[in-house]
Structure 1
Amino acid sequence: MVRLSPRGQQILHAIVCDYLETVAPVSSKRLIERFDLGVSSATVRNAMAELEDAELLEQPHTSSGRIPTSKAYRYYVDHILTLRPLTSGELASVEAIVRETGDVSRLVRDSGRVLSVISRHTALVSAPSLASAVCEGIEFVRVASGKVLVLFVMSSKVLCSQVVEDEGEFTQEQLERFGRYLNPMLMGLTLNKVRDRIDTELDHERARFDEALAQALHLGATALAQEDAERELYVEGSVRFLDQPEFSDLAKTREVFRTLEEKRSVLRLLSAAMEGPGTQVLIGPELVVEEMHGCAVVVAQYAHAGRPLGSLGVIGPARMDYARVIPLVGYVAQVLSQQMERG
């Protein structure tokens, strides 16, 4: 664990602030000229040498200056950073998505759009996962020949609906009976528990002798399998990577874009939000996706009745304005959660 003296923290803070603004290697001369550090240039040089020994600074190939490492940003976020309140305009922009949006999927997508615009980074948002939402009922509705709409009504005010193939050509009356079979069995369970219960009942001897129950269970299981496969992810403003000097290398940028197009990779980036409350910050090698080790992700979960539904955040270079981005991500998640509560 890195331990810095107050002087070391002061110098590191100045270097990070300057580099965030200029994206240019920082020299001791630059620090003396720009910041009122109250020390000599020799003291600054010695402090910078100590920071480099601690792997908090590194020297680009041809420059006499130094730049912060991922380890430096981690220390900065954990020990030095002071968060900046959002401006009234930023608050209004976030709150506007609640006033203008009614549909849940559109609300989630618009949250990502606003997050990208205000942060000037790429935004990532996962659509609500109903894994921890509580089932309040299940309905089966004939929508066409060979097709049945399976509708799970959840406590989160979100409907989980899937159209599944139906070889049995059941009548609507039979489908309603299926719902009556399953509702007492599934009500009050989370969607994860619903999956477990359906799997258990399908293996149960009773399902072998009760054809209607078996058909109902099969329809429910098929719908849940499709819901897992079709969970939506929104990536807003991916082109903003092109605005960052760190990604002027086209090969590097191509790797980032390829990763953002992979649903599984984006879900892994967002999964950090589900590991704890509040806003999570992952920097460089802390990211589980190797292609993103030059980046940082700031993520938070949004919830209903204390149950996590999904997560949102921004991804950009490790040289990120954390003081501004962290409160922004937290506030968007808070507003989205409040809207989920209102239904």
Structure 2
Amino acid sequence: MNADERRFAVLRAIVADYVNTHEPVGSKMIVERHNLGVSSATVRNDMAVLEEDGLIAQPHTSAGRVPTDKGYRLFVDRLAQVKPLSGAERRAVQAFLEGAVDLDDVLRRSVRLLAQLTRQVAVVQYPTLTRSTVRHCEIVALTPARLMVVLITDSGRVEQRVVDLGDVVADDTVAQVRQLVNGALVGRPLAAASAAVAELPTTAPAELRDVVIAVSTVLIETLVEHPEERLLLGGTANLTRNVADFPHSLRQVLEALEEQVVVLRLLASAQDPGTVTIRIGEENEAEEMRDTSVVTIGYGGGTVLGGMGVVGPTRMDYPGSIAAVHAVARYVGEILAGR
């Protein structure tokens, strides 16, 4: 093992011990706990170099050292492979998610699972409408003058709206409108579907025009992206386990998590279903999140439907968190693709 590799082994030992014990780590502890095959003096020299490089630091009240954001970053970048979840854990995750009845339930269960597996705060973004295509539009008469319009997208999202017509319509009129609307919508991405629906009143037969105008107005409102993208959060109480992990302010972190905009920004980089993104401490744009690390990934089959991940202190179990986020995202993608 050359000097660089040995120093990285010392850094890895400091990260592992500090994550486990929350106590600054000394050279004696490293020699006792980790079989590095070198003397205490060599470890002390290596720690001096790591400190000089800004990878570890000495809290003023202690003789030991703790990893810095830069140290965690090097550790994460050099994780050759992440220890995957055990077979039993994977089966439990799969069984729990497959028991879900609909999209809402899948996402609620994902948040609960991620929070339990990582003991951090879990965040899941609802599928973004703009990335979805229309699978089907059902139109049924609730009363002779009132219709129910149900829009179903390929991401499993279901939007329901009631249309008051102000006039009685026959069943065959409803059937004709349903056929027209589905002809314009099905298989199209939402933006294109919205444009096609806007054209419908100008091309519809005169006797259907009033009904088509009423239905297309409601559909356009439904198809246009909701600015307040929905998010699910779980396990917020996990952050309060160790207030010392947030030297600046735990309250600031909790308030930031309540701000949907902050969390959506954290998930914005999750554009790829196969790649986990990790932002550590100072790398977070939002100042309130500088004491946290954020592990995110995109979920979905071929296309990314949304992001999910966990937020915790920089002193987190990175390999475990990455494995959990990766596994849950994969199963959610498979379940939504199979529906």
Q: TM-score, normalized by length of structure 1?
A: 0.84
Q: Equivalent residue for 1:135?
A: 134
Give the deviation of 1:64 after TM superposition: 2.4
Q: Cα RMSD (Å) of the superposition?
A: 3.1
Q: Equivalent residue for 2:27?
A: 28
Q: Aligned partners of 2:135 and 2:316: how far apart in 1?
A: 43
Structure 2 letter corresponding to 1:342: G
Tell me, yes or no, if the aligned pair for 1:134 and 1:190 is still in contact at 8 Å: yes
1:299 paired to 2:296? yes
Q: Equivalent residue for 1:242?
A: 240
Q: Deviations over 1:223-244 (max 9, x none)?
A: 234x625643211111000113
Paired residue secondary structure (2:12) = helix
Q: Equivalent residue for 2:338?
A: 342
Q: Equivalent residue for 2:277?
A: 280
Unmatched tracts of structure 2, length 5 or more: none
Unmatched tracts of structure 1, length 5 or more: none
Q: Equivalent residue for 2:326?
A: 330
Tell me, yes or no, if the aligned pair for 1:81 and 1:323 is still in contact at 8 Å: no
Structure 2 letter corresponding to 1:73: Y
Give the deviation of 1:197 after TM superposition: 4.7
- Please show how residues 1-343 of structure 1 align to structure 2 within 5 Å: 5-80=4-79, 82-141=81-140, 149-156=148-155, 158-163=156-161, 166=164, 171=169, 177-197=176-196, 201=199, 213-225=212-224, 228-229=226-227, 231-247=229-245, 252-274=249-271, 277-304=274-301, 306-343=302-339
Choose 136-145 or 120-129, whichever is displaced more.
136-145
Tell me, yes or no, if the aligned pair for 2:98 and 2:335 is still in contact at 8 Å: no
Structure 1 letter corresponding to 2:132: A
Q: Aligned partners of 2:313 and 2:132: how far apart in 1?
A: 34
Give the deviation of 1:277 after TM superposition: 3.1
Change (3 A) 1:279 1:192: farther
Change (3 A) 1:170 1:81: farther
Q: Aligned partners of 1:153 and 1:27: how far apart in 2?
A: 58
Tell me, yes or no, if the aligned pair for 1:137 and 1:187 is still in contact at 8 Å: yes
Change (3 A) 1:179 1:205: closer
Q: Aligned partners of 2:249 and 2:149: how far apart in 1?
A: 44
Structure 1 letter corresponding to 2:271: M
Q: Deviations over 1:258-311 (max 9, x none)?
A: 12222222222222222563222222223333211211122222213x122222
Change (3 A) 1:45 1:159: closer
Paired residue secondary structure (1:320) = coil
Choose 263-272 or 211-220, whichever is displaced more.
211-220
Change (3 A) 1:179 1:187: same
Paired residue secondary structure (2:38) = coil
Give the deviation of 1:338 after TM superposition: 1.6
Change (3 A) 1:33 1:215: same
Alignment: residue pair count: 333
Q: Aligned partners of 2:289 and 2:242: how far apart in 1?
A: 14
Tell me, yes or no, if the aligned pair for 1:126 and 1:233 is still in contact at 8 Å: yes
Q: Aligned partners of 2:293 and 2:150: how far apart in 1?
A: 38
Q: Aligned partners of 2:137 and 2:168: how far apart in 1?
A: 16
Structure 1 letter corresponding to 2:250: T
Paired residue secondary structure (2:123) = strand
Q: Aligned partners of 2:168 and 2:298: how far apart in 1?
A: 40
Q: Aligned partners of 1:294 and 1:100: how far apart in 2?
A: 36
Tell me, yes or no, if the aligned pair for 1:295 and 1:315 is still in contact at 8 Å: yes
Percent sequence identity over matched residues? 34
Q: Deviations over 1:174-202 (max 9, x none)?
A: 66554444333322211233345556x49
